[in-house]
Amino acid sequence: MTNKKYVLGVFDDEEVLLHAIPNVRAAGTKIHECYTPFPIHGIDDAMGIERSRLPIAAFFLGCCGLAFALWLQIYTLGYDWPMIIGGKPNIALPAFIPVSFELTVFFTAHGMVLTFLIISGLYPKTNTQVMDPRSTDDKFIMAIEVKEGKTDMVQLSDLLRTNGAVEVNEKEVVS
């Protein structure tokens, strides 16, 4: 168990936070994370967050769903137990379109949501570490990790305040 200490810049407005991010980064400070009540356009670029590769995952999951659906229908009706239904061919591809489509969507949607939850570490838990409970209401929080002996607290606090933070707090997080 190591405790990590963070300095939290509390902002009142998303645009102020958005302007503050490049200034803080330009001053050589590494931003740990920003916590906001809603998604902010342009924050990814400002913080240098890479574009998510989830769409690629979604595409491959969709392909898996399509392949599974086609295999299931062709194998069961064409090979394992062929039946004559209304005189149609055993492998009647046009009739397989609806189920193939539905399973493609099923795999894409559920697979992608599961991937998102897993890579983001989201699962039902009661011990969530919240930096500042107001960050899910109306405050925009910028968290900067404090390195013992390296971080100049006064200078950091000044930097945040000059860039529009209305409060500067400290928070210790058990990790």
Partner 1 sequence: MQHVSPIREPLVTGGKTYHDITQDIARHVESKPNMRWAAALAVSLFFLGIFLWSVYRTLWYGIGEWGLNKTVGWAWDITNFVWWVGIGHAGTLISAILLLFRQKWRSSINRAAEAMTIFAVICAAMFPVLHMGRPWLAYWVLPLPNAFGSLWANFNSPLLWDVFAISTYFSVSLVFWYIGLVPDFATIRDRAKGPIAKTVYGLLSLGWVGSAKHWSRYETVSLILAGVSTPLVLSVHTIVSMDFATSVIPGWHTTIFPPYFVAGAIFSGFAMVLTLMIITRKTFVLEDYITLEHIESMNKVIILTGSIVGVAYITEFFIAWYSGVEYEQYAFINRATGPYWWAYWSMMTCNVITPQLFWFRSIRRSLTATFIISIFVNIGMWFERFVIIVTSLHRDYLPSSWAMFSPTIIDIGIYVGTLGLFFTLFLLFAKYFPVINMFEVKTILKSSSGVTHAPGTSMHANAPHPVMQVTDSNHTNHPKHD
The gap from C-alpha 119 to its chain's centroid, in whole angstroms, comes to 8
Residue choice 108, 160, 163, 165 for contact with partner 1 (CB under 8 A): 108
When asked if residue 70 is in the footprint of partner 1 (CB under 8 A), the reply is no
DSSP-derived secondary structure for 97-158:
HHHHHHHHHHHHHHHHHHHHHHHTT--S-S----S-GGGGTT-EEEEEEEPTTT--HHHHHH
Six token digits for residue 76: 């069961």
Piece of the chain touching partner 1 by CB under 8 A; list 1-9, 22-30, 136-144, 152-160: 136-144
**Which one of 2-10, 109-117, 145-153, 154-162 is the stretch in contact with partner 1 (CB under 8 A)?**
109-117
Which region among 2-10, 27-35, 146-154, 167-175 touches partner 1 (by CB under 8 A)? Answer: 27-35
96 or 146: CB nearest partner 1: 96
Q: What distance in Å separates the CA atoms of residue 113 and residue 13, rounded to the nearest whole number?
A: 30
Closest CA to 68 of 34, 106, 95, 30: 106
Q: From start to end of the chain, where are the E strands?
A: 3-11, 33-35, 140-146, 167-174
Q: Which is nearer to partner 1, 44 or 170 (CB)?
A: 44
Interface contacts to partner 1, rule CB under 8 A: 12-13, 15-16, 19, 33-40, 43-44, 47, 49, 52, 54-55, 58, 62, 72-73, 76-77, 80-81, 83, 85-86, 88, 92, 95-96, 98-99, 101-103, 105-106, 108-110, 112-113, 116-117, 119-126, 128-131, 133-138, 164, 166
